[in-house]
Structure 1
Amino acid sequence: MSTTTVTPAVSPAVAPLTTADAEILITAAGRAAEAAGVAVSVTVLDAGGHLLAFRRDDRAVLISGETSTRKAYTALQLDAPTAELVDLVKPDGPFHSLPTALDRPLLFIAGGVPVRRSGRLIGALGVGGGAPEQDHAFATTACEELSL
Protein backbone atom coordinates (compact mmCIF):
# COMPACT_ATOMS: atom_id res chain seq x y z
CA MET A 1 0.00 0.00 0.00
CA SER A 2 1.43 3.34 -0.95
CA THR A 3 0.72 6.55 0.80
CA THR A 4 0.83 9.86 -0.90
CA THR A 5 1.57 12.98 1.00
CA VAL A 6 -0.12 16.05 -0.31
CA THR A 7 1.73 19.24 0.36
CA PRO A 8 -0.36 22.39 0.07
CA ALA A 9 0.80 24.85 -2.52
CA VAL A 10 2.60 27.74 -0.97
CA SER A 11 2.35 31.08 -2.69
CA PRO A 12 5.61 32.93 -2.99
CA ALA A 13 5.89 35.83 -0.59
CA VAL A 14 4.89 39.18 -1.97
CA ALA A 15 6.69 42.23 -0.64
CA PRO A 16 4.40 44.62 1.20
CA LEU A 17 3.82 48.20 0.14
CA THR A 18 6.68 50.24 1.58
CA THR A 19 7.00 53.87 2.53
CA ALA A 20 9.33 54.25 -0.48
CA ASP A 21 6.55 52.84 -2.70
CA ALA A 22 4.08 55.20 -1.05
CA GLU A 23 6.31 58.19 -1.81
CA ILE A 24 6.50 57.15 -5.46
CA LEU A 25 2.69 56.95 -5.59
CA ILE A 26 2.23 60.31 -3.84
CA THR A 27 4.73 62.03 -6.11
CA ALA A 28 3.32 60.50 -9.31
CA ALA A 29 -0.29 61.36 -8.44
CA GLY A 30 0.72 64.88 -7.44
CA ARG A 31 2.67 65.36 -10.66
CA ALA A 32 -0.29 64.17 -12.77
CA ALA A 33 -2.65 66.50 -10.90
CA GLU A 34 -0.27 69.45 -11.19
CA ALA A 35 0.07 68.88 -14.94
CA ALA A 36 -3.72 69.11 -15.17
CA GLY A 37 -3.81 72.24 -12.99
CA VAL A 38 -5.68 70.49 -10.17
CA ALA A 39 -4.83 70.73 -6.47
CA VAL A 40 -5.33 67.39 -4.70
CA SER A 41 -4.77 65.37 -1.59
CA VAL A 42 -3.31 61.89 -1.91
CA THR A 43 -3.53 59.05 0.61
CA VAL A 44 -1.70 55.70 0.57
CA LEU A 45 -2.81 52.86 2.85
CA ASP A 46 -1.08 49.53 3.44
CA ALA A 47 -2.89 46.19 3.14
CA GLY A 48 -4.14 46.49 6.72
CA GLY A 49 -5.70 49.89 6.08
CA HIS A 50 -3.00 51.78 7.97
CA LEU A 51 -1.79 55.15 6.73
CA LEU A 52 1.57 54.94 4.95
CA ALA A 53 1.64 58.40 3.40
CA PHE A 54 -0.52 61.47 2.95
CA ARG A 55 0.03 64.75 1.17
CA ARG A 56 -2.31 67.69 0.59
CA ASP A 57 -1.40 70.35 -1.93
CA ASP A 58 -1.40 73.78 -0.25
CA ARG A 59 -4.19 74.88 -2.58
CA ALA A 60 -6.38 71.78 -2.22
CA VAL A 61 -9.73 72.15 -0.49
CA LEU A 62 -9.59 70.86 3.07
CA ILE A 63 -12.21 68.15 2.54
CA SER A 64 -10.00 66.56 -0.12
CA GLY A 65 -7.88 65.07 2.65
CA GLU A 66 -10.86 63.21 4.05
CA THR A 67 -12.17 62.15 0.66
CA SER A 68 -8.79 60.84 -0.51
CA THR A 69 -8.48 58.72 2.63
CA ARG A 70 -12.02 57.35 2.43
CA LYS A 71 -11.60 56.56 -1.28
CA ALA A 72 -8.40 54.63 -0.53
CA TYR A 73 -10.09 52.76 2.33
CA THR A 74 -13.08 51.85 0.13
CA ALA A 75 -10.85 50.61 -2.70
CA LEU A 76 -8.87 48.52 -0.21
CA GLN A 77 -11.87 46.99 1.57
CA LEU A 78 -13.68 46.08 -1.64
CA ASP A 79 -10.51 45.39 -3.68
CA ALA A 80 -11.85 47.43 -6.57
CA PRO A 81 -11.46 50.92 -7.99
CA THR A 82 -14.12 53.18 -6.51
CA ALA A 83 -15.00 54.31 -10.05
CA GLU A 84 -16.36 50.79 -10.67
CA LEU A 85 -18.48 50.81 -7.52
CA VAL A 86 -20.52 53.99 -7.93
CA ASP A 87 -23.53 52.38 -9.62
CA LEU A 88 -23.67 49.55 -7.05
CA VAL A 89 -24.66 51.89 -4.23
CA LYS A 90 -27.30 53.92 -6.04
CA PRO A 91 -30.81 53.53 -4.57
CA ASP A 92 -31.66 50.71 -6.98
CA GLY A 93 -28.18 49.11 -6.77
CA PRO A 94 -27.45 45.81 -5.04
CA PHE A 95 -25.27 47.44 -2.36
CA HIS A 96 -27.30 50.61 -1.75
CA SER A 97 -27.04 50.26 2.04
CA LEU A 98 -23.31 49.50 2.13
CA PRO A 99 -22.10 53.10 2.63
CA THR A 100 -23.82 53.22 6.04
CA ALA A 101 -23.48 49.57 7.05
CA LEU A 102 -19.97 49.75 8.50
CA ASP A 103 -18.42 51.63 11.40
CA ARG A 104 -15.79 53.23 9.21
CA PRO A 105 -17.38 55.16 6.35
CA LEU A 106 -16.84 54.15 2.75
CA LEU A 107 -16.90 56.64 -0.10
CA PHE A 108 -18.19 55.62 -3.50
CA ILE A 109 -16.72 58.38 -5.64
CA ALA A 110 -14.07 57.73 -8.29
CA GLY A 111 -10.49 58.32 -7.14
CA GLY A 112 -9.64 55.23 -5.06
CA VAL A 113 -7.71 52.30 -6.52
CA PRO A 114 -6.30 49.11 -5.04
CA VAL A 115 -2.53 48.64 -5.30
CA ARG A 116 -1.36 45.16 -6.26
CA ARG A 117 2.03 43.50 -6.49
CA SER A 118 2.25 40.24 -8.46
CA GLY A 119 -1.54 40.22 -8.53
CA ARG A 120 -1.92 40.43 -4.73
CA LEU A 121 -3.54 43.30 -2.88
CA ILE A 122 -0.88 45.21 -0.93
CA GLY A 123 -2.61 48.54 -0.29
CA ALA A 124 -4.64 51.31 -1.83
CA LEU A 125 -4.29 54.83 -3.15
CA GLY A 126 -6.89 57.58 -2.92
CA VAL A 127 -6.93 60.97 -4.63
CA GLY A 128 -9.36 63.78 -3.81
CA GLY A 129 -9.74 67.37 -4.91
CA GLY A 130 -10.49 67.18 -8.61
CA ALA A 131 -13.52 65.97 -10.49
CA PRO A 132 -14.06 62.24 -9.81
CA GLU A 133 -12.84 61.26 -13.29
CA GLN A 134 -9.70 63.36 -12.80
CA ASP A 135 -8.99 61.84 -9.38
CA HIS A 136 -9.35 58.35 -10.86
CA ALA A 137 -6.99 59.20 -13.71
CA PHE A 138 -4.39 60.63 -11.31
CA ALA A 139 -4.59 57.51 -9.11
CA THR A 140 -4.31 55.04 -11.98
CA THR A 141 -1.43 57.02 -13.52
CA ALA A 142 0.41 56.85 -10.20
CA CYS A 143 -0.10 53.08 -9.93
CA GLU A 144 1.21 52.61 -13.46
CA GLU A 145 4.36 54.51 -12.52
CA LEU A 146 5.00 52.20 -9.59
CA SER A 147 6.46 49.14 -11.29
CA LEU A 148 4.84 46.22 -9.52
Structure 2
Amino acid sequence: MSGATTARPTITPLTGADADLLVAAARAAAEAAGVTVSVTVLDAGGHLLAFRRDERAVLISGETSTRKAFTALQLDAPTADLVDAVQPGGPFHTLPTALDRPLLFIAGGLPVHRDGRLIGAIGVGGGAPDQDHGFAAAALDALVQDVF
Protein backbone atom coordinates (compact mmCIF):
# COMPACT_ATOMS: atom_id res chain seq x y z
CA MET A 1 0.00 0.00 0.00
CA SER A 2 1.41 3.36 -0.98
CA GLY A 3 1.78 6.17 1.53
CA ALA A 4 0.89 8.77 -1.11
CA THR A 5 -2.45 10.47 -0.85
CA THR A 6 -4.25 12.59 -3.34
CA ALA A 7 -4.98 16.05 -2.01
CA ARG A 8 -8.50 17.30 -2.62
CA PRO A 9 -8.82 20.97 -3.32
CA THR A 10 -10.16 22.92 -0.37
CA ILE A 11 -13.60 24.38 -0.98
CA THR A 12 -14.45 27.49 0.97
CA PRO A 13 -17.64 26.83 2.93
CA LEU A 14 -20.60 29.17 2.86
CA THR A 15 -19.73 31.97 5.25
CA GLY A 16 -21.79 34.34 7.33
CA ALA A 17 -20.87 37.11 4.90
CA ASP A 18 -22.08 34.95 1.99
CA ALA A 19 -25.34 34.28 3.83
CA ASP A 20 -25.85 37.99 4.53
CA LEU A 21 -25.28 38.78 0.85
CA LEU A 22 -27.77 36.08 -0.20
CA VAL A 23 -30.43 37.41 2.17
CA ALA A 24 -29.90 41.02 1.11
CA ALA A 25 -29.98 40.17 -2.60
CA ALA A 26 -33.12 38.04 -2.33
CA ARG A 27 -34.87 40.72 -0.28
CA ALA A 28 -33.83 43.43 -2.76
CA ALA A 29 -35.23 41.41 -5.67
CA ALA A 30 -38.47 40.85 -3.78
CA GLU A 31 -38.72 44.48 -2.76
CA ALA A 32 -38.22 45.57 -6.39
CA ALA A 33 -41.18 43.34 -7.30
CA GLY A 34 -43.30 44.70 -4.44
CA VAL A 35 -43.34 41.36 -2.59
CA THR A 36 -42.64 40.80 1.11
CA VAL A 37 -40.72 37.60 1.85
CA SER A 38 -38.78 35.52 4.31
CA VAL A 39 -35.33 34.26 3.36
CA THR A 40 -33.45 31.34 4.94
CA VAL A 41 -29.83 30.35 4.29
CA LEU A 42 -28.46 27.00 5.50
CA ASP A 43 -24.89 25.73 5.46
CA ALA A 44 -23.92 22.34 3.99
CA GLY A 45 -24.82 20.61 7.27
CA GLY A 46 -28.32 22.08 7.29
CA HIS A 47 -27.54 24.58 10.04
CA LEU A 48 -29.07 28.03 9.96
CA LEU A 49 -26.64 30.71 8.80
CA ALA A 50 -29.12 33.53 8.19
CA PHE A 51 -32.82 34.21 8.36
CA ARG A 52 -34.86 37.33 7.76
CA ARG A 53 -38.62 37.80 7.57
CA ASP A 54 -39.95 41.10 6.35
CA GLU A 55 -42.24 42.28 9.13
CA ARG A 56 -45.07 42.57 6.59
CA ALA A 57 -44.60 39.06 5.17
CA VAL A 58 -47.17 36.41 6.01
CA LEU A 59 -46.08 34.49 9.10
CA ILE A 60 -45.98 31.11 7.37
CA SER A 61 -43.36 32.44 4.94
CA GLY A 62 -40.71 31.90 7.61
CA GLU A 63 -41.54 28.21 7.79
CA THR A 64 -41.85 27.78 4.03
CA SER A 65 -38.53 29.51 3.32
CA THR A 66 -36.77 27.24 5.80
CA ARG A 67 -38.39 24.05 4.48
CA LYS A 68 -37.59 25.03 0.88
CA ALA A 69 -33.94 25.60 1.76
CA PHE A 70 -33.77 22.29 3.64
CA THR A 71 -35.37 20.41 0.72
CA ALA A 72 -33.02 21.97 -1.83
CA LEU A 73 -30.05 21.08 0.38
CA GLN A 74 -31.07 17.49 1.10
CA LEU A 75 -31.85 16.66 -2.52
CA ASP A 76 -29.23 18.99 -4.04
CA ALA A 77 -31.80 20.30 -6.49
CA PRO A 78 -33.99 23.35 -6.99
CA THR A 79 -37.36 22.74 -5.36
CA ALA A 80 -39.02 23.97 -8.57
CA ASP A 81 -37.55 20.92 -10.34
CA LEU A 82 -39.00 18.53 -7.75
CA VAL A 83 -42.68 19.49 -7.79
CA ASP A 84 -43.70 16.75 -10.23
CA ALA A 85 -41.61 14.13 -8.40
CA VAL A 86 -43.96 14.12 -5.39
CA GLN A 87 -47.16 13.80 -7.37
CA PRO A 88 -48.95 10.41 -7.25
CA GLY A 89 -46.87 7.98 -9.25
CA GLY A 90 -43.75 10.17 -8.98
CA PRO A 91 -40.45 8.78 -7.67
CA PHE A 92 -40.64 10.85 -4.45
CA HIS A 93 -44.40 10.50 -3.86
CA THR A 94 -44.01 9.20 -0.29
CA LEU A 95 -40.85 11.13 0.58
CA PRO A 96 -42.59 14.14 2.20
CA THR A 97 -44.07 11.88 4.89
CA ALA A 98 -41.08 9.56 5.31
CA LEU A 99 -38.80 11.96 7.21
CA ASP A 100 -38.90 13.55 10.64
CA ARG A 101 -38.11 16.97 9.20
CA PRO A 102 -40.68 17.96 6.61
CA LEU A 103 -39.64 18.73 3.08
CA LEU A 104 -41.47 21.25 0.92
CA PHE A 105 -41.76 20.72 -2.80
CA ILE A 106 -42.72 24.24 -3.84
CA ALA A 107 -40.51 26.52 -5.97
CA GLY A 108 -38.27 28.87 -4.01
CA GLY A 109 -35.45 26.66 -2.71
CA LEU A 110 -32.05 26.44 -4.41
CA PRO A 111 -28.85 24.61 -3.52
CA VAL A 112 -25.69 26.72 -3.33
CA HIS A 113 -22.56 25.32 -4.96
CA ARG A 114 -18.96 26.48 -5.00
CA ASP A 115 -16.45 24.87 -7.35
CA GLY A 116 -18.98 22.15 -8.12
CA ARG A 117 -19.57 21.19 -4.49
CA LEU A 118 -22.70 21.69 -2.41
CA ILE A 119 -22.03 24.27 0.32
CA GLY A 120 -25.54 25.23 1.40
CA ALA A 121 -28.98 26.32 0.28
CA ILE A 122 -31.30 29.30 0.15
CA GLY A 123 -35.07 29.30 0.53
CA VAL A 124 -37.48 32.14 -0.15
CA GLY A 125 -41.14 32.20 0.88
CA GLY A 126 -43.88 34.78 0.74
CA GLY A 127 -44.48 35.37 -2.95
CA ALA A 128 -45.92 33.13 -5.62
CA PRO A 129 -43.71 30.06 -6.14
CA ASP A 130 -42.27 31.35 -9.42
CA GLN A 131 -41.50 34.69 -7.76
CA ASP A 132 -39.78 33.01 -4.82
CA HIS A 133 -37.67 30.95 -7.23
CA GLY A 134 -36.70 34.11 -9.09
CA PHE A 135 -35.73 35.92 -5.90
CA ALA A 136 -33.55 32.98 -4.79
CA ALA A 137 -31.95 32.82 -8.25
CA ALA A 138 -31.21 36.57 -8.11
CA ALA A 139 -29.49 36.00 -4.77
CA LEU A 140 -27.31 33.24 -6.22
CA ASP A 141 -26.40 35.50 -9.14
CA ALA A 142 -25.34 38.20 -6.66
CA LEU A 143 -23.20 35.70 -4.75
CA VAL A 144 -21.46 34.58 -7.94
CA GLN A 145 -20.78 38.19 -8.97
CA ASP A 146 -19.45 39.09 -5.52
CA VAL A 147 -17.31 35.99 -4.88
CA PHE A 148 -16.14 34.67 -8.19
TM-score band w.r.t. shorter chain: over 0.9
Name the structure 1 match of 2:9: 12
Which consecutive unaligned segments of at least 5 residues does structure 1 have? none
Correspondence 1:26-65 to 2 at 5 A: 26-65=23-62
Name the structure 2 match of 1:135: 132
2:85 alignment partner, one of 74, 85, 88: 88
Distance in 2 separating the partners of 1:39 and 1:95: 31
Name the structure 1 match of 2:75: 78
Runs of 4+ off more than 4 Å: 4-8
Which structure dedicates a bigger proportion of its chain to helix? 2
The one-letter amino acid paired with 2:30 is: A
Name the structure 2 match of 1:144: 141
Deviation at 1:7, TM superposition (A): 4.2
The one-letter amino acid paired with 1:73 is: F
**Cα deviation code 1:25-82 (max 9, x no counterpart):** 0000000000000000000000000000000011100000000000000000000000
Task: Calculate the TM-score normalised by the size of structure 2.
Answer: 0.94
Secondary structure of residue in 1 paired with 2:90? coil
Distance in 1 separating the partners of 2:69 and 2:35: 19
Name the structure 2 match of 1:21: 18
The one-letter amino acid paired with 1:87 is: D
Distance in 2 separating the partners of 1:57 and 1:75: 22
- Superposed CA RMSD in Å reads 1.3
Task: Calculate the TM-score normalised by the size of structure 1.
Answer: 0.94
The one-letter amino acid paired with 1:114 is: P
Deviation at 1:8, TM superposition (A): 4.7
